[in-house]
């Protein structure tokens, strides 16, 4: 069963993603929208090792030409981040959510949308005076829990 | 990523050379073409029509002064600009057409005077076309053609235009170095994110 983890402090430049324990790079967008009503969307868009852009379902498809890298963060740095882990085979019944290795129960919905902007490339990137902050970054995460008394809690993950 | 950085540095270097070429190569080519300091810009002065075939000279090419380099001005302009010289030396040289010409070299002392001597003797260097050499900021010698056929030579003058070009070039190089350092920082930051 694939394991997908996102470690972040809420800022795109400090957001690392792991797929089955391997750190990914070259990601463009991640969209996860899972809820108890049966909605299960887990999409990843990335630039492959062949420079092509791929869009796949994270838990159902085989992610070809995925770019991986050696871990870039130290254990200490990783500890300072919040890690969301999803284990699933694409079925809601077999989906487990962990936050900082803690199993989460009573999840009503999970929404994650992380998008790295289309940065300038090549000579334009070199000549640009802008620092590495994408023009239109997007990092939105939300998890909704149902408490024992039936009330609903909405929380941000990172 | 490393290959990408190398590529970026390569482009940076190409840009530097390209920028330097724009400002320097024309002068450099001119210097090579001349092989000396006296020059051919004089040819634009209307001359009596020659019906005979072009003159050929027996003087070896190396001994001729170049037709290129320097600027021609009028005698009045030269007087107004330079005033009375400290010394006027007279020398005879062969011009590009192979004619023996008399050159009146107006000495005023100072750095420009040394440059003028260098140009006259043909002892110029490609370093003079580089913005880190003071000669880059000076014009070529000025020439005044007299009615008797002799030529007055006046020393180069400081060129504000060349100063601006020099400042622009230095600013560009500093900016480029700054960008390279910043680019390295970018790469380090990028390594902490899975998103490109």
ipTM of the complex: 0.78
Average pLDDT per block of 10 residues along chain A, 158 residues long:
92 90 92 92 93 93 92 88 93 92 92 79 58 63 92 92
Q: What is the domain extent for residue A58?
A: 3-155
**Contact list, B183 vs chain A (CB under 8 Å):** 126
What total of structural domains would you count in chain A?
Answer: 1
Mutation target to probe the B interface, by most B beta carbons within 10 A, among A114, A126, A128, A158 is A126
Pairwise CA distance, residues A33 & A109, whole Å: 7
User: Which of B138, B128, B141, B127 lies closest to B162 in space, CA to CA?
Assistant: B138
Contact between residue B97 and residue B55 where contact means Cβ atoms under 8 Å apart: yes
**Which residue in this structure is represented by tokens 């996860």?**
A32
Q: Which residues of A9-35 are buried (b: 16+ CB within 10 A; e: fewer)?
A: eeebbbbbbbbeeebbbbbbbbbbebe
Q: What is the pLDDT of residue A138?
A: 81
Query: Nearest CA to CA, how far is B195 from chain A (Å)?
Result: 5
A16, A73, A116: residue with CB nearest B196? A116
A27, A115, A123: residue with CB nearest B194? A27
Q: What is the pLDDT of residue B187?
A: 66
Q: What is the pLDDT of residue A57?
A: 94
pLDDT < 50 regions, chain B? 1-2, 18, 21-23, 25-26, 28-68
Q: What is the pLDDT of residue B107?
A: 86
The whole model's pTM is what? 0.52
Q: What is the pLDDT of residue B98?
A: 78
Mutation target to probe the B interface, by most B beta carbons within 10 A, among A23, A44, A116, A132 is A132
Q: What is the pLDDT of residue B7?
A: 55
């Amino acid at each position: 069963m694939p394991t997908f983890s996102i470690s972040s402090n809420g800022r795109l430049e400090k957001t690392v993603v792991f797929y089955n324990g391997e750190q990914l790079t070259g990601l463009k967008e991640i969209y996860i929208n899972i809820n108890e009503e049966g909605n299960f969307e887990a999409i990843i868009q990335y630039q492959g090792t062949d420079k092509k852009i791929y869009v796949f379902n994270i838990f159902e498809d085989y992610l070809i030409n995925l770019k991986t890298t050696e871990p870039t963060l130290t254990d200490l740095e990783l500890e300072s981040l919040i890690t969301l882990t999803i284990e699933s085979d694409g079925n809601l019944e077999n989906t487990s959510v962990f936050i900082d290795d803690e199993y989460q129960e009573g999840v009503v919905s999970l929404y994650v949308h992380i998008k790295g902007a289309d940065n300038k490339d090549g000579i334009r990137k070199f000549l640009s005076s802008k620092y590495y902050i994408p023009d239109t970054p997007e990092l939105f995460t939300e998890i909704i829990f149902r408490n024992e008394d039936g009330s609903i809690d909405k929380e941000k993950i990172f | 990523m490393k290959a990408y950085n190398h590529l970026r540095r390569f482009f940076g270097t190409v840009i530097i050379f390209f920028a330097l070429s724009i400002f320097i190569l024309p002068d450099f080519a001119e210097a090579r073409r001349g092989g000396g300091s006296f020059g051919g810009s004089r040819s634009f002065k209307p001359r009596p029509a020659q019906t005979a075939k072009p003159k050929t000279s027996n003087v070896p090419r190396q001994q001729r002064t170049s037709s290129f380099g320097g600027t021609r001005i009028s005698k009045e302009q030269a007087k107004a600009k330079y005033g009375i010289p400290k010394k006027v030396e007279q020398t005879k040289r062969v011009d590009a057409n192979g004619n023996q010409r008399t050159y009146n070299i107006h000495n005023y002392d100072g750095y420009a005077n040394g440059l003028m001597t260098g140009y006259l003797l043909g002892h110029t260097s490609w370093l003079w076309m580089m913005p880190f050499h003071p000669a880059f900021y000076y014009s070529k010698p000025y020439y005044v053609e007299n009615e008797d056929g002799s030529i007055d030579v006046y020393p180069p003058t400081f060129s504000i235009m060349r100063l601006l070009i020099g400042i622009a070039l230095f600013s560009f190089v500093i900016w480029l170095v700054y960008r390279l350092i910043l680019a390295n920082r970018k790469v380090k930051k990028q390594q902490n994110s899975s998103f490109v």
